A = this chain, B = another copy of it.
Amino acid sequence: MSAVDVPSGLPATRRTPLPGDPVLERLSLNQKTTPSWDLPSLVEGCARAGLGWVGLWREPVQEYGVERAARLVAEAGLQVSTLCRRGFLTSSDAEGRRRALDDNRRAVDEAAALGTPYLVMVVGGLPEGDRDLAGARERVASAIGELVEHARGSGVQLSLEPMHPIFCADRGVLSTLGQALDLAEQFSTAEVGVTVDTFHVWWDPEVEAQVARAGERISSFQVCDWITPLPPDALLSRGMMGDGHIDFRHHLRLVTEAGYTGPIEVEIFNAQVWAADPAAVLATTARRFAEHVLGE
C-alpha cells in the first residue's frame, strides 16, 4: 500500500467534507505531517477539509508570529490541539540545564498565547557519551518539577509523551506510559498530563491498564502506524494509518473508555509522505482516519 493515495487512480474522496462532520471534527492534522505547507496554507487546508483542529510546532509558529498565528487559526474556525514541543531536559551540565528550562518556559508562554492548554513534552535522550539512564530520568523528573512552577496559572499543562523505546537513547528516556504516569502523578492533572501516541505505545503489554490509569490525564491522543520493514531513517519511520500493524480502533476504545473525548491528532514523520503534495496527504489522512480510526 502506498502511504499517500494517488487521487487520479481513485474515485473522488469518499468522504465529502461537510461542516459539522462528526468524524472530521475530531481530526487534527499535526503540522509535521505536511511540513511543506506554510502556516496559512496549513490552516486553510485544514479548514477547507472540514477539520476541527490543527496541531502546531513551535518553530513555524515563532517564524509567523505567535499572536498572529493564534488569530489566523481562530479566524479559520480551528482550534489548536497541541503545541509541539519542548522537553529535552536531560542535560547533565548546569548551563545546558538552565538553557533548556528557559526554552521550556518560553514554550509554555507560547502555548498560552496560542490558546492551547497542552504543551507536548519530549523529554530528551542520553547526553553524548553518558550511559547513566537512571540519572537522565531523575534529571527529567527534577526539571518537570521546576517547570510546573512556571506553568501553574498559565492554563497550560505539560503533556509528557512517552516515546517508543527505539528513541530511548537519543530522543526520550520516558519509555512507557506507566513510567510517564509515575512522574505525572506527582503533580495535579491541571499541571502534568500525558500524550498517548499509538506509534509509541502500541507494543506495550501494559497499555490497556495504563491508559485506564491515565484517565483524565490524557491530554492528547495521536495516531500513526508502525510499518515494516522499518524505513532506513528511524526518525522517519512512522506510517499512514492502515499501512502497518496497529489496531487503531482498539486504542481509540481504550482512550474513550478512559474518558478522552478530545481531538485525535495525526502526526506522521515519513519521507514518502513529506515528498507528496500536502493536499493529497491531507485527503489521504482524512480518508484513512475514517477507515481505520474513527469512522464506521
Report A's interface with B, CB cutoff 8 A: 126, 131-133, 137, 164-166, 168-170, 175-176, 178-179, 202-205, 226, 228-230, 232-234, 244-247, 250
A130 to B, closest residue via Cβ: B245
* A-B contact list, 14 entries, CB within 8 Å: A131-B245, A131-B247, A132-B247, A137-B205, A164-B165, A165-B204, A166-B166, A166-B230, A168-B202, A168-B203, A168-B226, A169-B226, A170-B229, A176-B204
The reply to whether A228 and B169 contact each other, CB–CB distance below 8 Å, is yes
Give the complex CA separation of A228 and B128 in angstroms.
11
Give bound CA distance, A230 to B131, whole Å. Answer: 17
Q: Check B179–A131 contact: CB distance below 8 A.
A: no
A66 smallest CB distance to B (angstroms): 33
Contact of A234 (CB < 8 Å), options: B133, B165, B230? B230
Chain B residues with Cβ below 8 Å from A233 are 229, 232
Distance of A175 Cα from B204 Cα, bound (Å): 7
Say what secondary structure dominates the interface of chain A.
Answer: loop
Chain B's closest residue to A178 (CB) is B205
Bound-state Cα–Cα, A187 to B132, Å: 35
Which residue in chain B gives the minimum CB-CB distance to A200?
Answer: B165
Q: Chain B: which residue is nearest A246 at the CB level?
A: B131
Q: Contact between A133 and B168 (Cβ–Cβ < 8 Å)?
A: no
Q: For residue A202, which residues in chain B have a CB less than 8 angstroms away from its CB?
A: 133, 168
Q: In the bound complex, what is the Cα–Cα distance between A175 and B131 (angstroms)?
A: 22
User: Complex Cα distance A126/B166, Å?
Assistant: 19
A245 touching B176, Cβ below 8 Å: no
Residues of chain B contacted by A179 (CB below 8 angstroms): 205
Contacts of A228 in B (CB 8 A): 169-170
**Cα distance A205–B247 in the bound complex, in angstroms:** 25
Chain B proximity of A257: nearest CB distance (Å): 15
Shortest A231–chain B CB gap in Å is 8
How far, in angstroms, from A131 to B198 measured CA to CA in the complex?
13
Which B residues touch A126, using CB under 8 A? 245
A178 partner residues in chain B, CB cutoff 8 A? 205
Q: 17 additional contacts, CB 8 Å, given A133-B203, A133-B245?
A: A131-B246, A132-B247, A137-B205, A164-B165, A164-B166, A165-B165, A165-B166, A166-B166, A168-B226, A169-B203, A169-B226, A169-B228, A169-B245, A175-B204, A176-B205, A229-B234, A232-B233
Q: Is the CB of B175 within 8 A of A203?
A: yes
Neighbouring B residues of A244 by C-beta, 8 Å? 169
Residue of B nearest to A176 (CB): B205
The interface residues of chain B lying within 8 Å CB-to-CB of A234 are: 229-230, 234
CA distance A240 to B80 in the complex (A): 45
